[in-house]
Homo-oligomer: A and B are copies of this chain.
Amino acid sequence: MATKRNDKMNAFYAQSGGVTAVINASASGVLQTARKHKDRIGKVFAGRNGIIGALTEDLIDTSKESARAIQALRSTPSGAFGSCRFKLKSLEANRREYERLIDVFRAHEIGYFFYNGGGDSADTCFKVSQISETMGFPVRAIHVPKTVDNDLPITDCCPGFGSVAKYVAVSALEASFDVRSMARTSTKVFVLEVMGRHAGWIAAAGGLIEDEGIPIVILFPEIAFDEKKFIARVDTMVREHGFCTVVVSEGAHNADGSFLAEQGTRDAFGHAQLGGAAPVVANMVKQALGHKFHWAVADYLQRAARHIASATDVRQAYELGARAVELALAGHNAVMPTIDRISDAPYRYRIGMAPLAKVANVEKFMPRDFITEDGFGITEKCKRYLRPLIRGEDYPTYKDGLPLYATLKNVAVARKLPTFEL
C-alpha cells in the first residue's frame, strides 16, 4: 500500500455523516499533527460541509485558526467545518464527481486526503485513492473512523461510540433512580429511545446499569420484536422490583421488518406520523399492564453530549486523527487506523491499521453472544467489552454555567476552478 512521495503537499480534511461528541477531537489530532510536520505538509484545507466542500471547491484554510482554537476542538462537540449526508455514487455511475475531486486536489496541490466518517465515507476514501492513481495525481487517502453506531469492522470500537454509550448508561441510571422513587403511586415504567438503526451497540450500553441494581429490558435491532415476550418480561420486572426501565433502539422492528417507530401512527389529517419507538412501546405497556409510564427520546442530545463524554473515547478519537497523519507521512494509502484491543481489564489497546478495501461497506452488528438468550439484555462478555469504553470523564471548560465550545473562523480559500453543479 505504501507509495513513494517526496514533495511537500497540502492536505484535505473533511467530516462526513452524522457528527459526534468527539469528531472534532479527531480533527484536532489531524491538525495538530500536520502542524508538527510543516516540512512535508503545507496547509490543511478543510471541506466546508464535508465532501461537498471539496466538490464545490469550498475549502477552509485551517492555517488561519489559532493553536488555541485547534486545541479547543478537542472538547467541542459537532463538526467544526460542517458535515454532510452526501454519498458519492459508484465510480462507474458517477465518474464525474471523483474526477472533480482530483481536479480540486490538483488545483490546490493536495496530496493527502483525510476523511473522517463511517462506512460510506470509508468507501469514498477508498475510491479516491484508486481514481487518483488512475488519473496520475496520486493522493494518499486515509480514513479516520467515526460513528456513534460502532458498526465499522476490524477496529475494536469507533470514536463517538464510547461517549454515546456513557451518555446512555448515565442517563438511564439517573432516570431509573427517578422512576424507582416514583413507582409506589406513579410512574412504573420508563422508556428511553436511543440511536442505532441497524446495530444495537448504543442500546446495549443501557445494560451496564443492571449492575447498579436497575431492572432493565433492552430492545435490539438484532432481535425481532416479540410483543408477548416483551410484555411478560416487563411484567416480571415490575412485579419483582416495583419498576422497570426499557431502552429501545430506534431500529427495533417486528419480525416482518417493520419498525416499531412506524407502528401506523396517524396525525389528525391521517398522515403517517414520524414518531419514535419509545411512545409506541410505552403505550403498549400501558395497554397490556396498565402501568403509568414516562418516555424520552434522546436523539441528537446523545451524540452531541460532549459534557459527559468518555475520556477513553476522547483520547482515542484524538489518537486516531493523529495516527492518520503519521500513516500518510509513512507512505500508507487507502488505510484506516484502528483500535486493537489487547486486554479488557486492565484495558489496554494499540493503534493498528486496516486496508480500506476490507472496511468499506461492511457493517458490524452485536455478536449473538453479547445478547442474553432471551434477547432482552447483555451478557457479561458484552459488559467486559463496554466497560472500558465509557471509562473516565473529560469535562469541557465552563464559563457562566455553559461549556466553552469553539466556533472557528472558517476562512474560505480563494477558488481557482469553474463552478461545479452537484
Contacts and interface: CB of A to CB of B under 8 A. Distances in A.
Interface of A: 15, 18-19, 21, 49-50, 52, 76-80, 82-86, 166, 169-171, 173-175, 177-187, 190, 192, 208-209, 212-213, 263-268, 271, 273-276, 278-280, 282-283, 286, 294-301, 303-308, 310, 387, 389-393, 395, 398, 400-403, 405, 407
Kindly name the residue among A175, A179, A282 whose own CB sees the greatest number of chain B CB atoms within 10 A: A175
Given A298-B296, A301-B298, A401-B392, A177 B273 contact: no
A59 to B, nearest CB: 15
A301 B175 contact: yes
Given A175-B304, A307-B308, A279 B283 contact: no
Given A83-B182, A266-B268, A392-B401, 19 more contacts: A15-B181, A77-B174, A78-B178, A80-B181, A84-B182, A84-B184, A84-B186, A170-B402, A171-B305, A174-B307, A174-B403, A208-B402, A265-B273, A267-B280, A296-B298, A296-B299, A298-B298, A307-B308, A387-B400
Contacts of A19: 178, 181-182
A49 B187 CA distance: 13
A174 B402 contact: no
Given A78-B180, A85-B182, A265-B267, A171 B301 contact: yes
Contact of A174 (B181, B184, B304): B304
Given A166-B401, A283-B273, A185 B407 contact: no
Contact of A401 (B186, B391, B401): B391
A296 B300 contact: yes
A306 B174 contact: yes
Kindly name the residue among A166, A186, A271 whose own CB sees the greatest number of chain B CB atoms within 10 A: A186
A294 B276 CA distance: 11
Nearest to A403: B170
Contacts of A266: 265-268
A402 B169 contact: yes
Contacts of A180: 78, 82
Nearest to A53: B184
B305 A174 contact: yes
Kindly name the residue among A76, A78, A282, A391 whose own CB sees the greatest number of chain B CB atoms within 10 A: A78
A286 B272 CA distance: 13
A229 to B, nearest CB: 21
Contact of A185 (B86, B212, B297, B303): B86
A282 B307 CA distance: 26
A300 B310 contact: no
B82 A181 contact: yes
Given A84-B186, A185-B85, A213-B407, A401 B174 contact: no
29 contacts: A19-B178, A49-B185, A77-B174, A77-B177, A78-B177, A82-B181, A84-B182, A84-B185, A170-B403, A173-B402, A173-B403, A174-B306, A174-B405, A175-B301, A192-B301, A208-B401, A264-B267, A271-B283, A275-B275, A294-B300, A295-B297, A296-B297, A296-B300, A296-B301, A308-B308, A387-B400, A390-B401, A392-B398, A393-B395
A70 B380 CA distance: 32
Contacts of A186: 84-85
A175 B297 CA distance: 13
Nearest to A266: B266
Nearest to A20: B178
A82 B177 CA distance: 10
